[in-house]
Amino acid sequence: MARRALTTTAAAFATAAALLLTACGGADDASSDDIKGAGDSSPSPTASKSSAAPDVKRPVIKLPSSFQLTFENWTSSDPVEQAVLDDAKEEVRAGYAAIIANDPDSEAVSFYDTKGVRGMTKQWIKSYTDKDLTVIGKLPAFDPKVVMAKNGRGAALSYCTDESDAKTRNRKTDKVEGNPAGTNPFVSYSVSLTKNEQGVWQNSSVRGERGKCSR
């Protein structure tokens, strides 16, 4: 379920697939990964939160109950930091929703990624869909930390994920696979976000490293 690390200039949400793709023979570099996650089968409530840009119509993103992408303690008393957390979660949810919907050209993904990284995000999604894979299981994201840039237009977000119960399922054969034996399920992520003219915090880079966090 994790994404292999890319350079910071190309990274963003599409910074690629390590865990589940490694399990299915599709990824390299098992020590450095990137990911995103969120949700349940209902529309995300963050689109209506006052901490986010209030006049922006955000895409409705739904995930099925077969893939439980959750966020633990993704809250802040600071409204600007909360807006960063909210949009970062939606970007993650959009990516996995695109995989599940078999939609590499997802408009929701484009909404939450900067133009420079959308191609990489599409590549990451296609690394699943081109192999007829979808995602199932549980993927919690936890221990988020936000650092704001002094100019208020940029932010850095770090968090961890636990891929212990995250798996892929082949759409044609129904074959289910998880991480290879011996793979550390914990992945630490570092995300850069930029606030666009609409007030949406978009992912501009993502880097991850396996085994650098725990619960």
Give the mean model confidence (pLDDT) for residues 200-214: 91
Secondary structure (3-state) at 153:
coil
Distance CA 24, CA 36 (A): 19
Residues 36-64 have pLDDT tens digits of 333 333 444 444 344 556 678 999 999 99
- pLDDT for the residue 2: 59
Give the mean model confidence (pLDDT) for residues 116-131: 91
| pTM of the shown model | 0.78
Q: For the chain, what is the domain count?
A: 1
Lowest mean pLDDT among 28-42, 61-75, 129-143: 28-42
Q: How many residues does the chain have?
A: 215
Give the mean model confidence (pLDDT) for residues 11-27: 31
Residue span of the structural domain in which 172 resides: 3-210
Retrieve residue 190's tokens: 């570092």
**Torsion angle (degrees, nearest 10) of CA 105, 94, 11, 78:** 150
Q: Is residue 143 part of a domain?
A: yes
Distance CA 88, CA 112 (A): 8
Q: Is residue 215 part of a domain?
A: no
Distance CA 208, CA 35 (A): 7
Q: Is residue 201 part of a domain?
A: yes
Q: Is residue 142 part of a domain?
A: yes
